[in-house]
Structure 1
Amino acid sequence: MKGIIFTEFLDIVESRFGLDVCQQMLDDAGVDGAYTAVGSYDHRVLVKMIVCLSKITGVSPEVLQEAYGEALFTRLLSSFPLDNGEKPNSTFSFIERVERHIHTEVKKLYANANPPQFDFISQTSALMILDYISARCLSHVCLGLIRGCVKHFNEDMAISMEPVNQDQSHVRFTLKLNAG
């Protein structure tokens, strides 16, 4: 997993919970917290930090992942490349761009990268059904990223998440624009 995910996680934890909680989380997880944005790290370390943070704060790991994903969206958006100056104008167009362009470019830049995959099942102007497939099983982070995207585009949208398998490495998201 790319280091930017780790560096942003630590920044978000520190800003939301304070430096003492962040340090306690690192100590409890048995990690030093020295990550670079361009480095590559084992995703299990991130999961371990989330579990430790959950124990410290009393907030469930799922809720922490969702809050992290939502905050991460805004931070990643600033580094989002525009192809031919075209800017996504909706949650649906943004998600399509992530799968069709960003994940493809990540694989080109980093031969050993294994980004999550979105399989688009069905789409209309008001409904998108997609499957999230990732060996890292961080579907709640993905849910938070989607929520952050919906907020960014100021859309009124119902989002549901249904696990396809038990370990949640395969999850189906249904995004439905509410009529308004």
Structure 2
Amino acid sequence: MKGIIFTEFLDIVENRFGLEVCQQMLDDAGVDGIYTAVGSYDHRVLVKMIVCLSKITGVSPEALQEVYGEALFARLLTTMPMGNGDKPTGTFGFIERVERHIHIEVKKLYPNANPPQFDFISQTSAKMVLDYISARCFSHVCLGLIRGCVQHFNEEMDIEMEPVTQDQSHVRFTLTLSAG
């Protein structure tokens, strides 16, 4: 997993919970917390930090992942290349862009990268059904990212998340724009 995910996680934990909680989480997880944005790290370390943070704060690991995903969206948005006339105008277009362009570019830059995959099942102007597939099982981070995207585009949307596999490595999202 790319280091930017780790560095952003630590920044978000420090900003939301404070430096002492962040340090306690690192100590409890048995990690030094030294990551570079361009490095590659084992995703299980991030899982361990989330579990430790959950124990410290009393917030469920799923809720922490969702909050992290929402905050991460805004930060990742600033790092995404968007050419002229290439900017999505809504959540559906943005999600398509991530899968059809960004994940492809990530694989070109980092041949060993294994980004999550979105399989688009169906789409109308008001509804998108897509599957999230990732060996890292961060479906709740994905849910948070989608919520962050919806907020960014100032849309009203119902988001349903249905696990396809028990370990949530494959999850179906149904996104429905609210009439309003």
| Shared fold, TM over 0.5 | yes
Instruction: Give the match for residue 69 of structure 2.
Output: 69
Which amino acid letter does the alignment assign opposite residue 30 of structure 2?
Answer: G
What is the match of residue 152 of structure 1?
Answer: 152
SS in 2 for 1:78: helix
Distance 2:130 2:40 in 1: 27
Structure 2 unaligned residues grouped into runs of 5+: none
Measured on the aligned residues, the alpha-carbon RMSD in Å equals: 0.6
Question: Paired residue for 2:166?
Answer: 166
What CA distance in whole angstroms lies between the structure 2 residues aligned with 1:92 and 1:17? 32
Counterpart residue number, 1:101: 101
- Unaligned stretches of 5+ residues in structure 1: none
Q: Shift of the alpha carbon at 1:86?
A: 1.5
CA drift of 1:34 comes to 0.2
With the length of structure 2 as denominator, give the TM-score of the two structures.
0.99
- Tell me by how many angstroms 1:80 deviates: 1.3
Match of 2:5 in 1: 5
- Please name the residue that 1:122 is paired with: 122
The Cα shift of 1:46 comes to: 0.2
- Aligned amino acid, residue 52 of structure 1: C
Instruction: Give, in angstroms, the shift of residue 126 of structure 1.
Output: 0.2
Instruction: Find the counterpart in structure 1 of residue 110 from structure 2.
Output: 110
The letter for the 1-side match of 2:134 is S
Q: Give the structure-1-normalised TM-score.
A: 0.99
Matched residue count: 180
Q: Within 2, Cα distance between the matches of 1:44 and 1:73?
A: 21
Q: Once the two structures are superposed, what CA deviation does each residue of 1:57-86 show, in whole Å capped at 9, x if it has no partner?
A: 000000000000000000111111113442
Task: Tell me the distance in 2 between the aligned counterparts of 1:3 and 1:88.
Answer: 26
SS across alignment from 1:175: strand
